[in-house]
Amino acid sequence: MIEFTFTDPIFLWLLLSIPFLIITHFYSLQYIKRRAMRFANFEALNRVTGGQALSKNIPLLIIRLFTIFFLISAVAGPSLWYLGQSSDYNYVLALDASGSMLADDFKPDRLEAAKSAANQFVDSIKARVKIGIVSFSGIGYVEQLPTEDKSKIKLAIDNIQIKSVHGTAIGEALKASSNLLVGEEKARVIVLLTDGRENVATREELDKIIDFVNYHNIIVHTIGVATEEGGKLPGLEIVSTVDEEMLTHISDSTGGEYYRATTPEELASAYESITKIAKVKVPMRLAMPFMLLAMILLAVEWTLVNTKFRTIP
C-alpha cells in the first residue's frame, strides 16, 4: 500500500498557474516572431532550417512546467507513505476512564490493571520514542503531549482517574489521539484500550473519524479489557462487556491489530506484542528531493537558454 500526501495541500492551488505559464509561453513566441519579421530574411532562413525558422521551444516549456510543478509540490510538503519495516515510532496511549473501568473482573479494577500494563509498556520502550497520553469517557482528555520523558509519561498515566463525564466516546479518543500525532515525523501509532462500546458517536460518525485517522496514515491497535463473564460495577448489578466487533473494525480499518485481554497477564502480553510489530506506515519526506529536482531543471533551462535556444536580439 502506497499513499502520497501533503502537509500543506493549500499550496497546490498554485498549480493553477501552469495554464497561464503555457499561454504566456506561446504569446511570447508570437511577440518574438513579429519582432523578427521586421529584420529577418525568412526565405533564406527557411532554406537553411528546412521550414523551421522559428522554434516553438517546446523542450524549454516542458522543463519550465516540471520546474514549477516540483517547486510548488516541495512547498506543499509531500510525503510518500508505504507499509514497511521500521523501529522508529511515535505513540499515543488512549485509556478508557469511564465508570465501567471500575468493574471488578480485574483486581483491584480494570482501570488500575490498564494503568499498570501501560506503565510496563512505557518501560519496555528502549528507543528514543515520543509517547502521548489520552484518557476518555464521554469526551477525550489530553493527559500528556507526546514526549520522550518517561517520568512525565508514567506520571500522566498514574494520574488518570475515572471521569465524571458519562459515556464512552471512542471516536473522540481517536480524534484527540490523532491530533497529537499529525505533526510528528515518524511512523504514527495509537494504542486504544477500552472495556466498553461507543455510545456517544453513531457508526457513521465513527467511520468518518476512522477516515480521518487513515488520511493521516495512523495505525490503531485496539485492546478490549474484560473477562468472558464481564464484570460488575460497585453497588450495581450491571455487567459490563466489551464490543469486540467495533474494536476489530477500528483496528482492521487502520492496519492495526485487535487484542482481547481477559487477565492482567494477557493485558501485559498485548502491549508487549504491539512493541514487536515491525510493519508500520513509514513516511518518506520528499520536499528536499523535489526542491533539488527543481534546482537541477532550472540549471538545465539556463544552459539551454544561453546555448541552443538563445534568442538573438
Count of other CB atoms within 10 angstroms of residue 293: 18
Count of other CB atoms within 10 angstroms of residue 91: 28
Output the average pLDDT for the chain: 82
∠ CA 192-198-201, rounded to 5°: 115
Phi, psi for residue 243 in degrees, rounded to 5:
-90, 85
pLDDT tens, residue by residue, 17-75? 888 888 887 777 666 555 555 545 545 545 544 444 445 577 788 888 888 888 988 88
pLDDT tens, residue by residue, 189-241? 999 999 877 888 888 999 999 999 988 889 999 999 987 666 666 655 555 67
Q: Is the pLDDT of residue 152 over 90?
A: yes
pLDDT tens, residue by residue, 263-293? 889 999 999 998 887 666 766 777 888 889 8
Residue 233 DSSP code: P
Confidence band, pLDDT 50/70/90 cuts, at residue 151: very high
What are the DSSP calls for 273-285, one per residue? HHHH--EEEEEEE
User: Which CATH class for the 84-282 domain?
Assistant: alpha beta
Q: What is the mean pLDDT of residues 98-126?
A: 88
Q: Output 137 or 186, whichever has higher pLDDT.
A: 137
User: CA–CA separation, 169 vs 157, rounded Å?
Assistant: 19
**Nearest-CA neighbor of 11 among 65, 70, 75, 66?**
75
Domain boundaries, the chain: 2-77+286-305, 84-282
Predicted pLDDT at 239: 59
* DSSP H or E stretch at residue 146: strand 140-147
Confidence band, pLDDT 50/70/90 cuts, at residue 132: very high
Q: What is the mean pLDDT of residues 114-129?
A: 89
